[in-house]
Amino acid sequence: MRSLLQDNVLPNDLCIGCGGCTFHIGGGSKMALDERGQYTPVIASDADASVADPLCPFSGMADDEDTLGQALFGDRGCGQTGLTHDARLGFYRSVSVGHANEGDFRLAGSSGGLTNWLLHELFQQGEIDAVIGVGELAHAPGGTQYGYQIIESASELHRLAKSKYYPVTLDEVLRSVHARDLRYAFVGVPCFVKTVRNLCRQHPVLEQRIRFCIAIVCGHLKSRAFAQSIGWELGVAPATLESVDFRVKVPGAPANRYAVEVKGAHTRRQQQVFDLFTSDWGLGFFKYKACDFCDDIAGETADVTFGDAWLPEPVKAWQGHNIVVVRHPLIARLLEHANKAGRITLEGVTSDDFVASQGANYRHRHDGLAIRLQDAKAAGEWVPQKRIAASYAHASKKRQRVIRLRNRLREESHRAFITAKQRGRFKTFKRKMQPRVLHYHLAAGSLTKYLVKRVLINVRRVIKIRV
Ligand SMILES: Cc1cc2nc3c(=O)[nH]c(=O)nc-3n(C[C@H](O)[C@H](O)[C@H](O)COP(=O)(O)OP(=O)(O)OC[C@H]3O[C@@H](n4cnc5c(N)ncnc54)[C@H](O)[C@@H]3O)c2cc1C
Ligand code: SF4
Ligand code: SF4
Three-state SS annotation for 280-323: CHHHCCCECHHHHHCCCCCCCCCCEEEEECCCCCHHHCCCCCEE
Distance 192 CA to ligand 2 centre (A): 10
Distance 10 CA to ligand 2 centre (A): 8
Decide whether any atom of ligand 3 lies within 6 Å of the 298 Cβ.
Answer: no
Distance 354 CA to ligand 3 centre (A): 18
DSSP code of residue 136:
E
Question: Among residues 13, 12, 10, 16, which one has the least CA distance to residue 169?
Answer: 16
pLDDT of residue 178: 95
pLDDT of residue 465: 60
**8 Å CB contact between 97 and 349:** yes
Helix (H, G, I), strand (E, B) or coil at 62: coil
From atom 8 of ligand 3, which residue's Cα is the shortest distance away?
191
d(CA 81, CA 72): 10
Decide whether any atom of ligand 2 lies within 6 Å of the 384 Cβ.
Answer: no
d(CA 71, CA 178): 24
**Number of the ligand closest to the Cα of 50:** 2
d(CA 206, CA 187): 14
Decide whether any atom of ligand 3 lies within 6 Å of the 16 Cβ.
Answer: yes
Nearest atom (ligand 1) to Cα of 357: 11
pLDDT of residue 193: 98
d(CA 62, CA 6): 15
d(CA 340, CA 356): 27
Ligand 1 pocket test: pick from 117, 150, 163 the residue with the most ligand atoms within 8 Å of its Cβ: 163
Question: Among residues 118, 65, 106, 109, which one has the least CA distance to residue 87?
Answer: 65
Provide the 10 A C-beta neighbour count for residue 72: 22
Distance 276 CA to ligand 2 centre (A): 32
Q: Bridge-partner residues for 98, per DSSP?
A: 322, 346
pLDDT of residue 153: 96
Q: Ligand 1 — pocket residues by CB below 6 A?
A: 105, 109-116, 133-134, 160-166, 168, 187-189, 216-219, 221, 306-308, 322, 358, 361
Provide the 10 A C-beta neighbour count for residue 360: 12
**Number of the ligand closest to the Cα of 18:** 2
Nearest atom (ligand 3) to Cα of 365: 1
From atom 2 of ligand 2, which residue's Cα is the shortest distance away?
18
Nearest atom (ligand 3) to Cα of 16: 3
pLDDT of residue 460: 78
**How many degrees, rounded to 5, is the angle at CA 110 between CA 246 and CA 200?**
100
Q: Which amino acid makes up residue 9?
A: V
**8 Å CB contact between 279 and 260:** yes
**Number of the ligand closest to the Cα of 122:** 1
d(CA 445, CA 230): 27
**8 Å CB contact between 318 and 272:** no
Residues 6+ apart with CB under 8 A from 99: 106, 111, 112, 113, 114, 319, 320, 321, 322, 344, 345
Nearest atom (ligand 2) to Cα of 20: 3
Decide whether any atom of ligand 3 lies within 6 Å of the 220 Cβ.
Answer: yes
DSSP result, 168-208 = ---HHHHHHHHHS---EEEEE-HHHHHHHHHHHHH-HHHHH
d(CA 387, CA 69): 13
d(CA 14, CA 292): 9
What's the count of helices (H) and strands (E) in the chain, helices before strands? 16, 15
Nearest atom (ligand 2) to Cα of 17: 7
DSSP code of residue 84:
E
pLDDT per residue rounded down to tens, the chain (467 residues): 789 999 999 999 999 999 999 999 999 999 999 999 999 999 999 999 999 999 999 999 999 999 999 999 987 554 456 799 999 999 999 999 999 999 999 999 999 999 999 999 999 999 999 999 999 998 777 788 999 999 999 999 999 999 999 999 999 999 999 999 999 999 999 999 999 999 999 999 999 999 999 999 999 999 999 999 999 999 999 999 999 999 999 999 999 999 999 999 889 999 999 899 998 899 999 999 999 999 999 999 999 999 999 999 999 999 999 999 999 999 999 999 999 999 999 999 999 999 999 999 999 999 999 999 999 999 999 999 999 999 999 999 999 999 999 999 999 999 999 999 999 999 999 999 999 999 999 999 999 999 998 888 888 777 766 65
**CA 199 to the chain's CA centroid:** 20
Decide whether any atom of ligand 2 lies within 6 Å of the 98 Cβ.
Answer: no
**Dihedral of alpha carbons 323, 316, 279, 139, sign:** negative
What's the predicted TM-score (pTM) here?
Answer: 0.97
Q: Which amino acid makes up residue 455?
A: V
DSSP result, 20-55 = HHHHHH-TT-EEEE-TTS-EEEE--TT--GGGGGGG
Distance 189 CA to ligand 1 centre (A): 8
- Helices 329-340 and 114-124: crossing angle in degrees, nearest 10, is 100
Nearest atom (ligand 2) to Cα of 55: 3
Question: Among residues 413, 395, 377, 398, which one has the least CA distance to residue 230?
Answer: 413
